[in-house]
Structure 1
Amino acid sequence: MKFSILTLIFLVVLSCNSKENSTITKAEDYNAYLPSIAPKTTSKYFELWNAKIKPDSIQITSFGIVAGQYEAYFKATGDISYLKKSEQALEKAVAIAATGRAGYRRALARNYIAQHRFKEALVQAKEARAIGSGLRETQNLLFDVHMELGNYTLAKNYLDSITDITNFDFLIRAAKWNDYKGDLATTINYMEQAKDKAEKTYTKALILWSYTNLADYYGHAGRLSDSYKYYLKSLALDAENAYAKKGIAWIVFSHEKNPKEALRILDSVTKNYHAPDYYLLKAEIAAYMDNTEMKLLNIDEYIKSVKNTSYGEMYNGYTINLHLEETKQWDKALELAKREVINRPTPESYHFFASSYLKLGQKKKALAIVTEHIEGKSYEPALLFTCAEIYKANGLTNKANALKTELLGAVYELGPSSKEKIESL
């Protein structure tokens, strides 16, 4: 029945149209969260532990605590320098730790994952496994790393090794696995169970993580009222949560076709949160408004941001897409796509590779990549759109038309500008 999740989404969206065709959001629901307050990036507690770190320090506890605080500052601000400082503290902890070595290696691996340094993360995960302590946490980590690397068989083996329907860590990974497989109903079921577990822990970080992820999955399923509800619940827990505000802005833009309001929300975020991809979203909305000046200004902000070498490989996918769709620098897109395939050989990376060849007029090479590395291996709408484009270019009209029907059910995910592109397939 791999005639795929997008068909299901299409039917779900159609069946929900009578409920979801009106305005879902209300500005009065989220206005209180929009006044942007610069997050605190220090505290007496942090300064106390940071002061214990010296160039020749062996204060292992200090390194772990300071690394965790830097990670929190990164999440609050989007400032890559904090993630790099966290990395430095963790690398020092790994180097000098006599006890707790596996835990520090797991923490360093997760830092590397955040930086898209997946192969280095795998090295640390394997080292943690060899040390032996905290085996279940290491198995969780190995599942995560192998999913990021596209090693899906290995990932499934690790998922099977941690199976426990009562365990939060298992539930969120079972949700991720089923999302990869295209089983959205099972994905949501697992994520709802994980949310219930998180709420019983009274742990803010887990609850917040559950709410934002559940909101995303509801959006994929066309359950936009539920998606909106959980983004709001996220903001009730953390009024400065940029991700939840971005989620609401997407509903306002893609579903309600209200780009000015979406930009108002995003502008409130980018005053104090500086992740480069937010500028590309603002550029997309500006393009929908036919505001070329605003679009170019935001693209310029993105380009200036990612020139910071600390980002490393983190924004390769966004930059490739920018070259493919805006700058038309297709050779640069191909070069970067080749790097991405080496770093992270997933269907997503291969779709950038195939798209680059298509733009360069090498449609047969593009089709070979689709056939070997994407077809039947992903149900993500953006990847399926690439497949449809390449099928059409190679004269495979029936295959392109089959995906066209499915993709019309994914316009919300792809954005309002996608409808015309899909219809032209």
Structure 2
Amino acid sequence: MKLIKLLIVVILVSSCGTKNKDTVAHKKDYNKYLVSNEIETTSKYFDLWNSKIRPDSMQLTSFGVVGGEYNRYFQQTGDIKFLKKAEKSLKKAVDIANIGKPGFYRSLARNYISQHRFKEALLLADSAAAIGGDFNENQSLFFDIHMELGSYQKAEQHLDSLKNMSDFGYMIRLAKWNDYKGDLDTTINFMEKARTKAETSKSKDLMLWSYTNLADYYGHAGRIQDSYNHYLKALEIDNDNAYAKKGIAWIVFSNDKNAKEAIRILDSVTKTYNAPDYFLLKAEIADYIGNDLVRTRNLDEYFTRVKNEAYGDMYNAYNLGLYVGETKQYDNALILAQQEVENRPTPESYSWLAYSLLKNGDKEKALEVMNTYVYGKTIEPALLYQAAEVYKANGKSERVKELKGELIGAIYELGPGMEKQVHDL
């Protein structure tokens, strides 16, 4: 399960911090949010617009509205069918639009980003920009896509074209850029400014986005109490927010060392939220406390769900971790890692490629990939651990020592199950 733990960390966290040893989470704060409410996936508003769509429909507004509602249902339920239905509606809108076409291109591109279809998203962004439309929206979309593709120089150019310190969208992207560069203090500073702007606007969506992202960044910085408080703020706005509950579960597990309670929190989430990775996180936590029954049940649930072809490449990174750490299918891991590099040539993808090469016995090639594409290009603890293993296999003791020092300071982010592995490097 070691690689499952690494994979969870890649998704949950992105930089080093210092663990707060004090218990932070308390049931009285969050128990009221653990009631499993059935998620509404229809409304009179949705039904009205959906009723206007017929097989030969040219109701442009209907397709746009319905696509937006399907996307909202996906965010609330984690059910991939809604993301695919949103795609279908938006593709129809793109096909029939004469006015406002760039906006539909951008909406479809963001749908593809959610599906990890980044190169297709870039083609749609190019189409939107070729027509014209909102310059800032186009540049923001280009920034987001190039960050996902690992085209950081291009991303920076698009970010520079947006400079507007009064704009919420610019501030959150500037925060993301500084996080990529490893400047966590500046990242938090800009996110706090964005939070203030969101609160001033009284936009619940912007406040929710600000609180959950700040909670993540505070966790990276070792400010666990601040992280916890902001997840609670998010739940005050959206009682059913699965992401905020997952964040609290991680604090309960990694900081407070209460694995059973963390699983209880996640169990309440997965009653109504369908994203496969939540079951994988439960399997990791169960593995830490030696509960093989819960571990196996949740692994089986994960495998069952990701068989759905609608997920496409969305869970490639998770599957890589399982191929290497759980099923020992090293050949399949290498094939999938090569596919990920083709789809998304980021330091994360290359790190998995190097790690897969190592597991397939090609430590020299693994070292070459790690040196060229990963080392010095990321500060994510999970990737640094993979790098340390590659360097250890190649006898690079000084570099292992350097990375081990950084990893010891990132145990909260790596999770308690990784502490021994780090010390054994």
Shared topology, TM-score over 0.5? yes
Q: Deviations over 1:115-145 (max 9, x none)?
A: 0000000000011101111111000000000
Tell me the equivalent position of 1:150: 150
User: In the alignment, is residue 128 of structure 1 matched against residue 128 of structure 2?
Assistant: yes
One-letter amino acid of the structure 1 residue matched with residue 331 of structure 2: D
Q: Deviations over 1:358-410 (max 9, x none)?
A: 11111111101101110111111111111111111000000001100110000
Letter in 2 for 1:183: D
Percent of aligned positions that are identical:
58
Kindly report which structure 2 residues correspond to 1:338-417, keeping only aligned pairs within 5 A, or say none: 338-417=338-417
1:13-412 alignment, distance < 5 Å: 13=18, 20-412=20-412
Distance 2:23 2:93 in 1: 51
* Alpha-carbon distance between aligned partners in 1 of 2:110 and 2:198, rounded to the nearest angstrom: 21
Q: Using the alignment, how far apart are the partners of 2:308 and 2:204 within structure 1? A: 32
- In structure 1, runs of 5+ residues without a counterpart are 1-8
How much does 1:200 deviate?
A: 1.1
CA distance in 2 between counterparts of 1:183 and 1:387 reads: 21
More relative contact order in 1 or in 2 (CA 8 Å, sep 6+)? 2
CA contact (8 A) 2:330 2:360 kept: yes
Deviation of 1:235 (Å): 0.2
Taking the aligned partners of 1:197 and 1:101, their CA distance within structure 2 comes to 30
Report the Cα distance in structure 2 between the residues aligned to 1:392 and 1:199, rounded to whole angstroms. Answer: 48
1:180-208 alpha-carbon deviations (Å, 9 max, x no partner) = 00000000001001111111111111110
What amino acid maps onto 1:187 in structure 2? Answer: T
SS in 1 for 2:416: coil
* Structure 2 letter corresponding to 1:330: Y
- Following superposition, the deviation at residue 291 of structure 1 comes to 1.0
Q: Secondary structure at the residue paired with 1:375?
A: coil
CA shift, 1:244, in A, is 0.1
Distance 1:206 1:125 in 2: 23
Please state how far the C-alpha of 1:169 moved relative to its aligned partner: 0.6
Shift of 1:56: 1.1
Partner of 2:3: none
SS of the residue corresponding to residue 327 of structure 1 reads coil
1:137 and 1:330 map into 2 onto residues whose CA distance is 42
The secondary structure found in structure 1 opposite 2:249 is helix
In structure 1, give the amino acid aligned to 2:293: E
State the shift of 1:234 in Å. Answer: 0.2
Number of positions where the alignment pairs a residue of Structure 1 with one of Structure 2: 411
CA distance in 2 between partners of 1:355 and 1:296 (Å): 25
- CA–CA distance in 2 between the matches of 1:86 and 1:110? 11
Superposed CA RMSD in Å reads 0.9
Q: Which runs of 4+ in 1 moved over 3 A?
A: none
Q: Determine the C-alpha separation between the residues in 1 that align with 2:330 and 2:193.
A: 44
What's the CA shift for 1:166? 1.3
Amino acid at match of 1:297: R
Residue 422 of structure 1: aligned partner: 422
| CA deviation string 1:316-338 (max 9, x = no partner) | 00000111111111111111111
Q: Is the 8 A contact 2:143 2:159 kept in 1?
A: yes
The separation in 2 between residues aligned to 1:261 and 1:251, in whole angstroms, is 11
Tell me, in whole angstroms, the C-alpha distance in 2 between the residues paired with 1:21 and 1:280: 25
| Cross-structure match for 1:4 | none
Q: Which amino acid aligns with 1:335?
A: I
Amino acid across the alignment from 2:259: P
Give the Å deviation of 1:297: 1.2
Q: State whether residues 22 and 255 of structure 2, in contact with CA within 8 Å, keep that contact through their aligned partners in structure 1.
A: no
Corresponding residue for residue 12 of structure 2: none
Equivalent residue of 2:326, what SS? helix
Match of residue 6 from structure 1 = none
Whole-Å separation in 1 of the counterparts to 2:110 and 2:373 = 27
Question: Following TM superposition, by how much is the alpha carbon of 1:280 offset from its aligned partner in structure 2, in angstroms?
Answer: 0.6
> 2:10 maps to what in 1?
none
Distance 2:263 2:375 in 1: 36
Structure 2 residues not aligned, in runs of 5+:
1-14
- Please give the alpha-carbon distance, in whole angstroms, between the structure 2 residues aligned to 1:416 and 1:111: 35
